[in-house]
Amino acid sequence: MTIVLNPDGVSIAGCTLIYAPKTQALEYAPLACNPYRGCGHGCAYCYVPLVTKQDRREFDEGAVPRKNFIHRFLGEAAKYQAAGITEQVLLSFSTDPYHPGNTERTEWVLEKLIEHGLAFCTLTKGGTRALANINLFRPDRDAFAATLTTLDDAFSRKWERNAALPADRIAALKAFHERGIFTWVSLEPTLDVEASLSIVDATHEFVDLYKVGRANYLKAITTTIDWESYTLHMIDRLHAVGAKHYIKKDLQSYLPVNYPNPLRIPQRH
Ligand code: SF4
């Protein structure tokens, strides 16, 4: 068993189900797991089919549990346990752990991560669907995160047609916060500057951390937003409400010189 030292964490060579993400995803988590293939949320901006070379229609039809997963997952979890690695594993980058279909596989994965000494974080647009598993989350180990692009239902339906509506995602964040679980919000993609700034105003009382990114692969948006102005406005707003934050690499060139922007803020209480 070879333990790989990543810039900010560790993983085990050869493990592909509990793995160290690369490039942009690495900014979100040192370890990740994708228990499904596909995702039924149908986000218009989703780049997963493009990056993973999946047929978009098939991907949008819904999430299905990955084949040959259970035995391999248990083998990999055992390796992490034997190596004494206890970091958070993020679910998920190439699917959503609380997609609109059957999410029993998510519950099984969380239970097995606990049994093998690993912590976890779920990142979802499934809103209160995640409450089905709230009892598994441990305040001193785990985290709950939601992606928010807007507070407006019509805008959300246009871009994330089958995802939970913003108010439902916010209700889930509040519920996890009230249980003492660390919460964070992914402000990525940014589709509308004012919408992202308003999300901070509306949620900072029950959100522990914001991760801020831009839009990629969306020419109509990437070329019309002034990203420098957005970055500066966003950090002002985050400072005004005293919110912890991480500005992703795509926006870091717009930050003031020597701006403190630690990659890994502990995501637990
Ligand atoms: S929730 Fe995530 S994985 Fe699912 S379609 Fe939307 S962007 Fe893609």
Q: Whose alpha carbon is nearest atom 8 of ligand 1?
A: 46
pTM for the full model? Answer: 0.96
Give the pLDDT score at 5.
72
pLDDT tens series, the chain, 269 aa:
787 777 667 889 999 999 998 877 788 888 999 999 999 999 999 999 998 899 999 999 999 999 999 999 999 999 999 999 999 999 999 999 999 999 999 999 999 999 999 999 999 999 999 999 999 999 999 999 999 999 999 999 999 999 999 999 999 999 999 999 999 999 999 999 999 999 999 999 999 999 999 987 777 777 889 999 999 999 999 999 999 999 999 999 999 999 999 988 999 99
CATH at 193: 3.20.20.70
Number of compact structural domains in the chain? 1
The CA distance from 179 to 30, in Å, is: 25
The CA distance from 125 to 172, in Å, is: 10
Q: Are strands 3-6 and 9-12 parallel, antiparallel or unpaired?
A: antiparallel
Of 162, 180, 164, the residue nearest 128 (C-alpha)? 164
Give the pLDDT score at 8.
65
What is the helix (H) or strand (E) element at residue 200, kind and residue range? helix 193-203
**Residue 260 in domain:** no
Q: Whose alpha carbon is nearest atom 6 of ligand 1?
A: 43
Token pair in block for residue 66:
């990955």
**Residue 226 in domain:** yes
Give the pLDDT score at 10.
81
Cβ–Cβ under 8 Å, residues 213 and 187: yes
The CA distance from 196 to 212, in Å, is: 9
Question: For ligand 1, is residue 46 a contact (CB within 6 Å)?
Answer: yes
Give the pLDDT score at 198.
98
Residue that has been written with the tokens 């978009």 in this structure: 56
**Residue 25 in domain:** yes
Question: For ligand 1, is residue 146 a contact (CB within 6 Å)?
Answer: no
Sign of the dihedral defined by the CA atoms of residues 117, 186, 208, 202, in that order: negative
Stated length of the chain: 269
The CA distance from 117 to 133, in Å, is: 18
* 42 Cα nearest atom in ligand 1: 5
Question: For ligand 1, is residue 41 a contact (CB within 6 Å)?
Answer: yes
Question: For ligand 1, is residue 43 a contact (CB within 6 Å)?
Answer: yes
> Cα of 46 to ligand 1 centre, how many Å?
5
Question: For ligand 1, is residue 164 a contact (CB within 6 Å)?
Answer: no
Burial (CB count within 10 angstroms: exposed 0-12, middle 13-18, buried 19+), residue 114: middle
Beta bridge partners of 129: none
Sign of the dihedral defined by the CA atoms of residues 96, 97, 98, 102, in that order: positive
> Cα of 99 to ligand 1 centre, how many Å?
9
Residue that has been written with the tokens 């995501």 in this structure: 267
Q: Which residues have CB under 8 Å from 221's CB, separation 6+? A: 189, 191, 215
**Residue 26 in domain:** yes
> Cα of 96 to ligand 1 centre, how many Å?
6
**Residue 111 in domain:** yes
> Cα of 140 to ligand 1 centre, how many Å?
28
Residue that has been written with the tokens 């797991």 in this structure: 33
Of 84, 82, 83, 95, the residue nearest 32 (C-alpha)? 95
Give the pLDDT score at 7.
64
Cβ–Cβ under 8 Å, residues 186 and 145: yes
> Cα of 57 to ligand 1 centre, how many Å?
13
In the 8-state DSSP scheme, what is residue 256?
Answer: P
Q: Whose alpha carbon is nearest atom 3 of ligand 1?
A: 95
Q: How far is CA 208 from CA 89, 112, 147, in A?
A: 18, 26, 14
**Residue 18 in domain:** yes
Token pair in block for residue 92:
């998920």
The domain in which residue 199 lies consists of 3-252
**Residue 138 in domain:** yes
